[in-house]
Chain A
Amino acid sequence: MRGTATGGAKRSRSAPYLLGLPALAYLGIFFVIPLVTLLKMSLSTNVGSVYEPTMVLDWHWANYSDAFSSYGAQFSRSFLYAGIATVLALLLGYPLAYVIAFRAGRYKNLLLGLVILPFFVTFLVRTLAWKTILSDTGWVVSLFDLLHVPMPDGRLLSTSWAVVFGLTYNFLPFMVLPIYVSLEKIELSLVDAAKDLYSAPWRAFRAVVLPLSLPGVFAGTLLTFIPAAGDFINAQYLGSAQNAMIGTVIQKQFIVVKDYPAAAALSFVLMAMILVGVLVYARVLGTEELT
Chain B
Amino acid sequence: MTDNRELEALVRRQLQASWTRRGFLGRAGLAAGMLAVGPGVLAACGSDDDSEGGGDGETERTESDTLRISNWPLYIDAETIPAFQDETGLTVEYTEDVNDNEEYFAKIREPLSRGQDIGADLFIVTDFLVARLIELGWLAEYDSANVPNKANLVDSLAHVDYDPERKYSLPWFSGFTAMAYNIDLTGEEITTTEALFDPKYRGKVTMFSDMRDALGMVILMDKGSLDDLTEADIQAAADRVAAAKDEGQIRRFTGNDYGDDLVAGNVAVCQAYSGDVAQLQLDNPNLRFVLPETGGLLFSDNMVMPTTTENIVGAEKWMDFVYDPANNARLTAEVQFIPPVQQTGEELEKIDPELAANPLINPPESEMAKAFVFPTLTEEEEVTYTDIYTQVTAS
Of all chain A residues, the one with the shortest Cβ separation from B5 is A124
A55, B48: Cβ atoms closer than 8 Å: yes
A248, B251: Cβ atoms closer than 8 Å: no
Of all chain A residues, the one with the shortest Cβ separation from B210 is A256
Of all chain B residues, the one with the shortest Cβ separation from A230 is B37
B264, A135: Cβ atoms closer than 8 Å: yes
B253 on the A face (CB < 8 A): yes
A132, B11: Cβ atoms closer than 8 Å: no
Contacting residues of chain A (98-142) with chain B, CB-CB under 8 angstroms = 122-125, 128, 131-132, 135-138
Q: How far is the CB of B182 from chain A (nearest CB, A)?
A: 11
**Separation of A33 and B40 alpha carbons in the complex (Å):** 9
B390 on the A face (CB < 8 A): yes
Q: Inside 8 A of A11's CB, which chain B residues have their CB? A: none
Which one of B35, B42, B382 contacts A260 once the chains associate, using CB atoms below 8 Å? B42
Contact with B along A240-262 (1 / 0, CB 8 A): 11101001111111111111100
Q: Inside 8 A of A249's CB, which chain B residues have their CB? A: 394
**Separation of A242 and B30 alpha carbons in the complex (Å):** 20
Given contacts A34-B39, A35-B39, A256-B102, contact A158 B266 (CB under 8 A): yes
B387, A257: Cβ atoms closer than 8 Å: yes
Of all chain B residues, the one with the shortest Cβ separation from A141 is B266
Given contacts A157-B266, A255-B102, contact A242 B39 (CB under 8 A): no
Contacting residues of chain B (17-63) with chain A, CB-CB under 8 angstroms = 19, 30, 32-35, 37-43, 45-49
A252, B394: Cβ atoms closer than 8 Å: yes
A50, B382: Cβ atoms closer than 8 Å: yes
For chain B, what secondary structure do more than half of its interface residues adopt (helix, strand, loop), or is it mixed? helix
Of all chain B residues, the one with the shortest Cβ separation from A129 is B15
A37, B43: Cβ atoms closer than 8 Å: yes
Contacting residues of chain A (9-62) with chain B, CB-CB under 8 angstroms = 30-31, 33-35, 37-38, 40-41, 44, 48-55, 57
B395, A73: Cβ atoms closer than 8 Å: yes
B264, A131: Cβ atoms closer than 8 Å: yes
Q: Inside 8 A of A73's CB, which chain B residues have their CB? A: 395
B386 on the A face (CB < 8 A): yes
Query: How many A-B pairs fall under 8 Å by CB?
Result: 159
Interface size on A, residues (CB 8 A): 62
Q: How far is the CB of B239 from chain A (nearest CB, A)?
A: 15
Given contacts A125-B15, A136-B265, contact A252 B383 (CB under 8 A): no
Contacting residues of chain A (69-105) with chain B, CB-CB under 8 angstroms = 73-74
**Separation of A236 and B253 alpha carbons in the complex (Å):** 8
A251, B35: Cβ atoms closer than 8 Å: yes
Q: Inside 8 A of A155's CB, which chain B residues have their CB? A: 203, 266
Contacting residues of chain A (170-207) with chain B, CB-CB under 8 angstroms = none
Q: Inside 8 A of A123's CB, which chain B residues have their CB? A: 34
A74, B393: Cβ atoms closer than 8 Å: no
B34, A233: Cβ atoms closer than 8 Å: yes
Q: How far is the CB of B183 from chain A (nearest CB, A)?
A: 15
Of all chain B residues, the one with the shortest Cβ separation from A246 is B394
**Separation of A157 and B252 alpha carbons in the complex (Å):** 10
Q: Inside 8 A of B109's CB, which chain A residues have their CB? A: 51-52
Given contacts A122-B8, A158-B251, contact A252 B390 (CB under 8 A): yes
Q: Inside 8 A of B354's CB, which chain A residues have their CB? A: none
**Separation of A59 and B199 alpha carbons in the complex (Å):** 48
Given contacts A136-B264, A242-B248, A244-B395, contact A254 B37 (CB under 8 A): yes
Given contacts A236-B32, A241-B245, contact A30 B40 (CB under 8 A): yes
B250 on the A face (CB < 8 A): yes
A153 on the B face (CB < 8 A): yes
Q: Inside 8 A of B261's CB, which chain A residues have their CB? A: 131, 157-158
Contact with A along B263-307 (1 / 0, CB 8 A): 011100000000000000000000000000000000000000000
**Separation of A196 and B191 alpha carbons in the complex (Å):** 78
Q: Inside 8 A of B390's CB, which chain A residues have their CB? A: 252-253, 256-257
Q: How far is the CB of B4 from chain A (nearest CB, A)?
A: 8
Which one of A54, A158, A256, A267 contacts B386 once the chains associate, using CB atoms below 8 Å? A256
A124, B11: Cβ atoms closer than 8 Å: yes
Q: How far is the CB of A182 from chain B (nearest CB, A)?
A: 29
B203, A153: Cβ atoms closer than 8 Å: yes
**Separation of A44 and B41 alpha carbons in the complex (Å):** 17
Q: Inside 8 A of B382's CB, which chain A residues have their CB? A: 50
Of all chain A residues, the one with the shortest Cβ separation from B265 is A137
B7 on the A face (CB < 8 A): yes
A161 on the B face (CB < 8 A): no
A209 on the B face (CB < 8 A): no
Of all chain B residues, the one with the shortest Cβ separation from A44 is B47
**Separation of A239 and B394 alpha carbons in the complex (Å):** 12
Given contacts A51-B379, A255-B102, contact A132 B19 (CB under 8 A): yes
- Interface-centre pick from B35, B38, B113, B248 (highest chain A CB count, 10 A): B38
Of all chain A residues, the one with the shortest Cβ separation from B33 is A124
A-binding residues in B (CB < 8 A): 4, 7-8, 11-12, 15, 19, 30, 32-35, 37-43, 45-49, 100, 102-103, 105-106, 109, 113, 132, 136, 202-203, 245-246, 248, 250-253, 257, 260-261, 264-266, 379, 382-383, 386-387, 390, 393-395
B-binding residues in A (CB < 8 A): 30-31, 33-35, 37-38, 40-41, 44, 48-55, 57, 73-74, 122-125, 128, 131-132, 135-138, 153-155, 157-158, 233, 236-237, 239-242, 244, 247-260, 263-264, 267
Q: List 23 A-B contacts (CB under 8 A).
A: A34-B39, A37-B43, A38-B43, A48-B49, A51-B105, A51-B109, A51-B136, A52-B113, A122-B7, A125-B15, A128-B12, A136-B266, A153-B203, A158-B251, A241-B253, A242-B246, A247-B37, A252-B394, A255-B35, A256-B386, A256-B390, A257-B387, A258-B106
A34-B38, A136-B265, A137-B265 known; 12 new pairs, CB 8 Å cut-off, are A30-B40, A34-B40, A52-B109, A54-B48, A57-B47, A122-B8, A158-B252, A242-B246, A252-B393, A254-B42, A259-B387, A267-B38
The 8 A-B pairs at the shortest CB distance, nearest first, are namely: A55-B47, A34-B39, A37-B43, A137-B265, A38-B39, A34-B43, A135-B264, A136-B266
